[in-house]
Amino acid sequence: MKKTTGKIFWKQPLTYLLLLAGAGGALLGQHIIFPQAQKYPENPGNIVASQLAASQSKTNIDANSNPTKPNWLPVRSPIPNGNFIVNAVQKVGPAVVRINSYRRVGQQPNMFGRGMPDDFYGIEPPRNQYGQREEGTGSGFIISADGHILTNAHVVEGATTVEVVLKDGRRLQGKVLGTDSVTDVAVVKIDGNNLPTVSLGDSENLQPGEWAIAIGNPLGLDNSVTVGIISATGRSSNDVGVPDKRVGFIQTDAAINPGNSGGPLLNQNGEVIGINTAIIDGAQGLGFAIPINNAQQIAQQLIKVGKAEHAYLGIAMQTLTPELKQEINRNLNTDMSLFSDQGVLIMQVVPGSPAARSGLRPGDIIQKIDNETITKSENVQQIVQKRTVGSLLEMEVNRNGKNLNLQLRTGNLPARLRG
């Protein structure tokens, strides 16, 4: 859990899944490999009985083929040594990596109270006080054979050095091509050829109850695998306590812990459907992942230009209910009364924003966008998240009881709003 100083990406109640260690040391645990569990049939008693019967009928054959083997021993049928989880892990495991990121978190003050550089007079500041090096351990996965790695922005953001450890033990220097704090997605590049890669799935039509498999390096325990289900989809940033982020999260009960951050969430076919990102502090069975469709879109921009653009309207909004309508009408002037109790109420319009230029006003109620009926503020967020900067939206709003049709061209989210 992220308990150290520095920029905190997630606000409470979310907790980083990043394992940190200060004072120049890596807090990396050793791992124990337990024997792989075998998949046995449901009723072992019936199997033993059938094996005994089979052995009696084959006594002469066994005696002739292997005279030293007692003919009363049962002939054992082969037991399956894998299942869909094993197959998925074997398919993806080689492409899952550990990412060690190193940051400098302060400087030693001199007699004037100012920080001095590390090489001042050739003296290195004490690592355990000022200018200490902080190490974070996260996860990632290779998406191209030439070494592009997808991970979380908070795993590598602000890092001075990034080291990538492959499953086969190789340690390679990584270069951060770009990070996007709005979605918590980052791309790291390593030099290599014919590297193992993952297969990307489709996160658009996931259903609660589907299998979910998480792979990563929790608490320094490399290549750990946990299994559960997708317990919900489309969790808005408001739902999980990070309203300034623009992600419709996948919720899973597959156990994820600090160090899993940036690792893949798989479906039963071994395809990546999300990036494990956050947990709710103090809760159990509540983990969140960034849908791979969104992450892939951001990754393409980061690889190409080193930064990502996000469509932007410039409004503050709230889902309208009959109760909210009644409360607002009691406090508004009679010439600004709300006449609809369904839709999304625009509370504020940012001056100079795309919304302001299109003619939207506070008090307007969004009814439809591109002929899609709007009932929740999350609907607006999801539509805008999927659009590119400069997209044209057809919007129907209710203003003082009359429906108006407006056109709005999305802008790029300003840097000051990116967190």
Distance CA 1, CA 235 (A): 22
As a whole number of Å, the end-to-end CA separation of the chain is 20
Pairing of the two strands 185-189 and 224-235? unpaired
Q: How far apart are CA 322 and CA 326, in angstroms?
A: 6
For residue 287, give both structure tokens: 């983990």
What φ, ψ does residue 140 adopt, rounded to 5°?
-165, 175
Do 396 and 339 meet the contact criterion of CB atoms below 8 Å apart? no
Reading the block at residue 401, the tokens are 């009881």
- Give CA–CA dist 360/353, Å, rounded: 10
The yes-or-no answer on residue 191 being catalytic is: no
Residue with the two structure tokens 């500041």: 125
Task: Tell me the C-alpha distance between 379 and 382, whole Å.
Answer: 5
- From the candidates 139, 154, 236, 310, which is the catalytic residue? 154
Identify the active-site residue in 139, 148, 184, 310.
184
The residue written with tokens 């602000």 in the block is 158
| C-alpha to C-alpha distance for 274 and 293, rounded to whole angstroms | 8
CA distance 180 to 136: 18
In b/e form, how buried is each residue of 356-375, taking b as 16+ CB within 10 angstroms? eebebeebbbbbebeeeebe
Q: Is 310 a catalytic residue?
A: no
Judged by DSSP in three states, 95 sits in helix
Active site residue 118: no
Catalytic residue among 203, 236, 261, 377: 261
Integer Cα distance of 122 and 301 in angstroms: 41
The CA distances from residue 367 to 10, 196, 311, 341, 376, in Å, are 32, 48, 20, 10, 10
Pairwise CA distance, residues 266 & 225, whole Å: 11
User: What are the start-end ranges of the E strands in 217-282?
Assistant: 224-235, 249-252, 264-266, 271-280
Q: Active-site residues: which are they?
A: 154, 184, 261
